[in-house]
Structures are given as C-alpha cells and as structure tokens.
Amino acid sequence: MLTEWAGRTAVITGAGSGLGRELARQCAARAMNLVLVDVQDDALQAAAAEAKQAGAAVLACKVDVAQAEAMEALAAQIQQRFGAPHLVCNNAGVAAGGLVWENTVADWQWVLGVNLWGVIHGVRLLVPMMLQAAQADASWRGHIVNTASMAGLLTPPNMGVYNVSKHAVVALTETLYQDVRLLTDQIGVSVLCPYFVPTGIAHSERNRPAALAAGTPTRSQLIGRAMSEKAVSAARVTAAEVAQRVLEAVEHDRFYIFSHPEALAPVEQRMRAIVSGGCPPDPFAQRPEVGAQLRAALRSGG
C-alpha cells in the first residue's frame, strides 16, 4: 500500500476542477510531485499555479484524454520528468443524459471517449511504467484510482450513455485489480463510485469538442439535465471530502470507494434481482416522488 507521499508523483486527469482539483490540492499538501491534466487550459493553469504556490513540482499538460496519441505523448513526458508515477487518478469525466435511443453517435463518442477511453489510455500507458518500477525496486509502491460513479453500479433511467461508460470503468478496474495481483503486490487498485457531488460535471458540455457537437437537445435530455443540476446543487458531500476519502482508501489499500455509503441499498437490490433472475428493481424505491416527477415530465408532452 502507498503510505509515503512526500517526493512521490501523482498523475491526475480532470485536474482543473471538481474532484481533480481537490485531489491536486491534497496531494500538494502531502509534498507530492504533480502531473496535472485537463482539456480546459485556463482551469488547468489555475490549478497548476495553486499547486506551485503550495510548493509542489508541477507538470501541467493540456490533453484530451480520449485521444490516444496525446495520451502517449503525455506518458513520455511523465517518464522523462518524474519517472514512473506512484499515484494515478484517472478522473476526467463528462456527463450526458436523455432516453438511451435519443443519444446521437456524437454523444456516445464523446462520453465513451472521455469516461472510458480516458481510463483505458491511463491504464495501458501508465501501469506498465509502474510495473517496471516495482520490478526494479522491491520497496517501490504505487496505486491506481479510476473514477467511475454509482451509475456504474446501478442503471438509473434517462442517463444510459453515462451509465454504460461508468459500468465499463467498474468492470475495467475490477479486472485491472485481478490482473495486477497476478504480477505484484506492490501496486494497489481502487475504483471510486461517487454519488451526487458538486464537481462541475453537470456543465461538462463547456469542453465538448466541436467535432462531436451536440444536436438540438431532446425533451428527455433537457429534463435529465435539469434534474441532475438540481441533485448536484443540493449535494451535501463536497469534492474535498471525497478527495480525502480517496487518499485514505489508497493508504489502506481499499478497492471500492464510495462518497455516499448509504446509497448502497439499491446496489444490493440490483444484485438480488440478478441472482434471482428478476427484473431490474425500481430505481426510485427510496425516493418515489423523484420517479413520479420524471414520468410526469416525460409523459406530459408539453
């Protein structure tokens, strides 16, 4: 497990805002070297300046994590500047919703590109560097944290493209855990499954590439966006608190990280339905008024 922070290197994608920014702050406070990655340059530079002010050595890179060549260049920069990273937080994420058949090809490409391919690139490029470092030094320790979501363990309606991306991240990370364990005990793996946390992801359209521009939003997409923004704005757990839980999980080598453990009841219900061969359970069983609101809004046609 990774318990010594000073002088170690952390790579954080989506570092310009939200959870990534808080992870950068807390890693800087632990005297780590930082590789900060974001597609939004002004937010990235602000995060880098703050980390440098805190005394951290910083490599700030504007990178679209969905792009293979850009991520390959990033990996080479990391190797040259700091060597193998000790902590990798594949954290960049975007959100899109709506009824699943209404998502365009561009919607799928954008969301899967950032949420899934960004993690894939982080794993395929940085894990081999970490394994090489572990093989060369028996005292070397590292950890990978992939950001999924509670939507990676559940199937809430009207947000299918997002659900698919996050379920894939959970499956990838669980498999990564098993694969790494075949080779070494020096590298830990975790998956973060946050619930509603005010991180700015509800406004991720601001960084959507022009080549994957959204069409005119459908009624279901507008409704989903409004409900998501309302839920996020009412959230009581902060990004700083989640970042603290992430680093505590790394220190204790815990795999599953939850921002809201109380939200696990629906996950248990889903698992029971799978084992029993039943239908997916009511996603609004604990908050029926939300389900009623969504159905009424979608069926009204107004």
pLDDT at 30 over 60: yes
* The predicted structure's pLDDT at residue 35: 98
Nearest to 170 by CA among 143, 187, 150: 150
Confidence (pLDDT) at 166: 98
For the chain, percent of residues with pLDDT exceeding 90: 80
Residue 169, pLDDT > 90, answer yes
Mean pLDDT for all residues in the chain: 94
Comparing C-alpha atoms, which of 227, 226, 218 is closest to residue 100?
Answer: 218
Predicted confidence (pLDDT) per residue in 100-138, tens digit: 999 999 999 999 999 999 999 999 999 999 999 999 999
Concatenating the DSSP letter of every residue in 151-192 gives: GGT---TTBHHHHHHHHHHHHHHHHHHHHHHHH-SSEEEEEE
**Is residue 220's pLDDT more than 80?**
yes
Residue 202 pLDDT > 70, yes or no?
no
Least confident among 8-17, 188-197, 219-228: 219-228
**Measured distance CA(57)–CA(53) in Å, rounded:** 10
Position 197 confidence tier, pLDDT thresholds 50, 70, 90: confident
Distance CA 55, CA 53 (A): 5
More reliable by pLDDT, 97 or 13: 13
Residue bearing the bigger pLDDT, 224 or 15: 15
pLDDT of 200 reads: 67
pLDDT at 284 over 90: no
Would you state the structure tokens that stand for residue 125, as one six-digit string?
A: 């490029």
Judged against a pLDDT cut of 80, whether residue 37 lies above it is answered with yes
The topology (CATH level 3) of 9-264 is Rossmann fold (3.40.50)
pLDDT of residue 231: 74
Report how far residue 276's alpha carbon sits from residue 32's, in angstroms, rounded to the nearest whole number. 47
Residue 302 banded pLDDT, cuts 50, 70, 90: low
Active site residue 162: yes
Element at 23 (helix H, strand E): helix 18-29
Domain ranges of the chain: 9-264
Cα 250 to Cα 98, 178, 180, 218, 236, distances in angstroms: 35, 17, 15, 41, 23
- Measure the CA–CA gap between 126 and 144, rounded to whole angstroms: 9
- Write the single-letter amino acid at 8: R
Please state the pTM of the whole predicted model. 0.95
- For the sheet containing 58-62, what is the strand order? 58-62, 33-38, 9-13, 87-90, 142-147, 187-193, 256-258
